[in-house]
Amino acid sequence: MLKIINLKASTGGKDILKGLNLEIKTGEVHAIMGPNGSGKSTLANVLSGKPGYDISGEINFEGKKLNNVPIEERAQNGIFLAFQYPLEIPGVNTSNFLRTAINSIRKAKGEKELDALSFIKLIKEKASELKIDEKFLSRQLNVGFSGGEKKKNEILQMKLLEPKLSVLDETDSGLDIDALRIVADGVNSYKNKDNSFLIITHYQRLLDYIKPDYIHVLSNGKIIKTGRSELGQQLEKTGYKYLN
Amino acid sequence: MKLNFSKEDFNKNKDNIMFNEDFVKNNFPNKRKENWKFTDLEKILNFKFKELSVYNKKNTITFNEKLQFDHYYLISINGNISKYNFGNGEKKFSSSSKFDTKDLLLKANKIHPFNNFTQDIKNDTLLAQNIAFADRGYNLELASSLSKPIVIYNIFKHDLENKFINISNEIKLLNSDITVIEYNIDYSNSSFFRSTFQIFDLNKSNLNYFIINKGSSKSYNYVRNKIKIDKSNYENYIFTSGTKFKKEDSEISLNSEDSSAKIMSAVFLKNDDHQEIQSTIRHKKPNCKSFQKIKNILKDGSKGIFQGKVHVSKEAQKTDAYQISKGLLLDQKSEFSTKPELEIYADDVKCSHGSTSGNIDEQAQYYLMSRGLSKKNATRLIVKGFLTDVISEIKNKDLKKIINSHLDDVINYEN
Ligand SMILES: Nc1ncnc2c1ncn2[C@@H]1O[C@H](COP(=O)(O)OP(=O)(O)O)[C@@H](O)[C@H]1O
Ligand SMILES: [Mg+2]
């Protein structure tokens, strides 16, 4: 599904990704761990098409080169990024935004747009799965949401937009145990053999809920180690230091 | 630019005919005047018009694009009331007729004697011209509340090219709680100059006064409001997107305790539109409140201006005065200017003002686009979002819906 070859990315005169290789096959769950500042969010941003990076190397998504594809087309083609720090957007009504988003993607896929009624039905169902109070849907997007509420809202968007590849950037950070479980259940119930995940996290505890097929360690802009799930437990005990 | 008028164009007041013709001739304010420093009317009119001729025709038309909610209405054609409906069906109205019930009086415009405004017109040639020429408008007096809002359909039609229309309106309220919606529709497709002088006299009353434009207009508009507030609340909501040029000057006096004044505005300016709101709010007695929130979205080299002056006299303790103005600039060519001015002579007051102007938040654009929205749709959502806190102040649900859909039309038109 995703194949990254020798990806380098820099911004503001700083080289952040320094030759990264990664392949995620359809149906696989990959986790990326790594110290702060190693370039995890940069990788996520670059995948989403965030402007402002100088990029070399190649990103292939479903066999097509992604490097110059505009942000919205990536989303329409099935790439989703749950942000580490979801933005507050004053004045933009959450449910209005969600409906515009879902219909943008449906339209791009050549599907019929959802009318108001079917949308409300759908969103109520997905929100209740994530134990999100309906009141949030009529609020301004992320404005005044707690950290946990913002993260849940990201997962709600994921479930509504039904991406092929979901990149979760530290979605577990700042969540209490109950919220963590809800988010993990949300991911697990969406996971199937046709979609893939790239989960960025610092903590093994999320990976106890969402079992990754592979764990990669990102350090200083490169993947320095790849292993199976035992690697996570090992890192939990020893930290990243011994890897260097 | 030449201003064309004859003796006949002066309205019927004797004093006004006596009035020195030279004074009203070719005399428009320019930027050397404090209130006009961001709006050089002389230059703007000279640039657009070779001549302006005082308009004195009275027309009628059939109009059937009424708003879809329960309301009373007046239909005004080029400033002249031609029909009204206060619940007993639509009636014709001519300048000689009047509608008179126990608590409601509707008459044609009042012709003001110059003597009543000698102070005002000394520095205000537009007002002097208005008093000299105004031959149309309405005069509405109410002594009880109305259960439905009054819509004033302000229709402009026929050939108005290079015309100078002078209108004078008055609303006088006693123990009355009403909503008035000035709904402007310009079918004329002409460039003309409309000057309106309005007096609002509120006594133990609440007035919610909305100004909404439908579609676009090539007209140039000056509105001068004189608002007297006694034990009353005045709320003014301005949604005048689509008008080429507009300056709305409001002089508001809070004349007795526990009164309030509110000005809220949300407009989207484009195609080098120029719109200014200038207010002077005089807090004369204690415990009064004033609140102003002005929001402009600007594009294509348009100009938005807010000049808000708050004057708090020595006696006016516990004054609460707030003003904020924000410009959202969608390109480098457009400009948003503000000039807040506080003059405070009381010591126990809460007065604050703020002003910002900036470009669209690219991070927000990116966030929305990462969910599949095109740049255009992302921008629309953000732009609409910028106006949300003004719209959310509208209490009447029907009106809120109407205004929302007007703003959507303006925003979605392009970009
Ligand atoms: N816009 C930027 N300009 C300069 N440096 C940046 C910018 N964005 C990120 N960095 C730097 O790049 C490094 C990697 O950042 P990031 O990808 O956010 O790391 P991580 O998510 O792994 O903690 C950090 O040292 C960070 O300070
Ligand atoms: Mg990060």
Tell me which of A79, A98, A132 is where a domain ends: A79
Place of tokens 């996520």: A44
Q: Which residues of A fall within a CB distance of 8 Å from B326?
A: none
Say yes or no to pLDDT of A76 above 90.
yes
Answer yes or no: do A74 and A136 share one domain: no
Write the CB contacts of B397 (distance below 8 Å, at least 6 apart in sequence).
none
pLDDT confidence of residue B332: 94
Q: How far is CA B381 from the centre of its chain?
A: 27
Residue B237 lies in a domain: yes
Answer yes or no: do A142 and A119 share one domain: yes
Answer yes or no: do A112 and A189 share one domain: yes
Answer yes or no: do A68 and A112 share one domain: no
Answer yes or no: do A113 and A189 share one domain: yes
Residue A103 lies in a domain: yes
For chain A, what is the domain count?
2
Q: pTM of this prediction?
A: 0.92
Owning domain of residue B150: 2-360
Between A98 and A231, name the one with better pLDDT. Answer: A98
Q: To 5 degrees, how large is the angle CA B27–CA B29–CA B30? A: 120
Answer yes or no: do A125 and A148 share one domain: yes
**Strand-by-strand arrangement of the B260-269 sheet:** B91-92, B80-85, B72-77, B150-156, B177-186, B206-214, B233-239, B260-269, B289-298, B320-329, B350-359
Helix-strand-coil percent breakdown of chain B, rounded to 5?
Answer: 20, 45, 35
ipTM beyond 0.85?
yes
Residue A202 lies in a domain: no
Answer yes or no: do A189 and A126 share one domain: yes
Assign 3-class secondary structure to A72-124.
HHHHHHCEEEECCCCCCCCCCEHHHHHHHHHHHHHHHCCCCCCCHHHHHHHHH
Which residue, B221, B222, B290, is CA-closest to B261? B290
Residue B384 lies in a domain: no
Residue A235 lies in a domain: no
pLDDT confidence of residue A242: 65
Residue B398 lies in a domain: no
For chain B, what is the domain count?
1
Mutate to test the interface with A, among B324, B361, B370, B375 (most CBs of A within 10 A): B370
Write the CB contacts of A20 (distance below 8 Å, at least 6 apart in sequence).
A4, A6, A7, A8, A39, A43, A57, A218, A221, A222, A223
Write the CB contacts of B220 (distance below 8 Å, at least 6 apart in sequence).
B44, B45, B48, B191, B192, B193, B194, B244, B245, B246
Q: A76 vs chain B: nearest CA distance in angstroms?
A: 5
pLDDT confidence of residue B344: 97
Average pLDDT score over chain A: 94
Q: Is B400 exposed, middle or buried (0-12, 13-18, 19+ CB in 10 A)?
A: middle
- The pLDDT confidence band at residue A239, using thresholds 50, 70 and 90, is confident
Residue A157 lies in a domain: yes
Answer yes or no: do A189 and A144 share one domain: yes
Residue A90 lies in a domain: yes
Residue B390 lies in a domain: no
- The Cα–Cα gap between B102 and B92 comes to 20
Read off the pLDDT of residues B45-82 as tens digits, 9 standing for 90 and up.
999 999 999 999 988 888 989 999 999 999 999 999 99
Answer yes or no: do A56 and A128 share one domain: no
pLDDT confidence of residue B17: 53
Read off the pLDDT of residues A101-147 as tens digits, 9 standing for 90 and up.
999 999 999 999 999 999 999 999 999 999 999 999 999 999 999 99
Residue B177 lies in a domain: yes
First to last CA, chain B: 36
pLDDT confidence of residue B20: 58
On the CB side of B88, CA atoms within 13 Å amount to 5
Q: Which of B381, B387, B389 is closest, CB to CB, to A100?
A: B381
Read off the pLDDT of residues B348-387 as tens digits, 9 standing for 90 and up.
999 999 999 999 999 999 999 999 999 999 999 999 999 9
Which residue, B293, B281, B283, is CA-closest to B327? B293
Answer yes or no: do A96 and A74 share one domain: no
Owning domain of residue A129: 85-162+185-193
Q: A91 vs chain B: nearest CA distance in angstroms?
A: 4
pLDDT by 10s per residue, chain B, length 415: 888 888 778 776 655 555 555 566 657 999 999 899 999 999 999 999 999 999 999 888 889 899 999 999 999 999 999 999 999 899 999 878 889 999 999 999 878 877 788 888 877 889 988 988 899 999 999 999 999 999 999 999 989 999 999 999 999 999 999 999 999 999 999 999 999 999 999 999 999 999 999 999 999 999 999 999 999 999 999 999 999 999 999 999 999 999 999 999 999 999 989 999 999 999 999 999 999 999 999 999 999 999 999 999 999 999 999 999 999 999 999 999 999 999 999 999 999 999 999 999 999 999 999 999 999 999 999 999 999 999 999 999 999 999 999 999 999 876 5
Q: B266 vs chain A: nearest CA distance in angstroms?
A: 13
Answer yes or no: do A189 and A105 share one domain: yes
Q: Is A21 exposed, middle or buried (0-12, 13-18, 19+ CB in 10 A)?
A: middle
- The Cα–Cα gap between B229 and B257 comes to 10
Please identify, by atom number, the ligand 1 atom nearest to the C-alpha of residue A40.
Answer: 22
Helix (H/G/I), strand (E/B), else coil: A63 = coil
Residue B6 lies in a domain: yes
Residue A156 lies in a domain: yes
Helix (H/G/I), strand (E/B), else coil: B69 = coil
Residue B381 lies in a domain: no
Asked whether the CA dihedral B398, B401, B403, B406 is positive or negative, the reply is negative
Among A16, A46, A222, A240, residue to substitute to test ligand 1 (most atoms within 8 Å of Cβ) = A16
Residue B312 lies in a domain: yes
First to last CA, chain A: 30
Answer yes or no: do A118 and A55 share one domain: no
Q: What's the gap in Å between A206 CA and the centre of ligand 2?
A: 16
Mutate to test the interface with B, among A79, A80, A97, A123 (most CBs of B within 10 A): A97
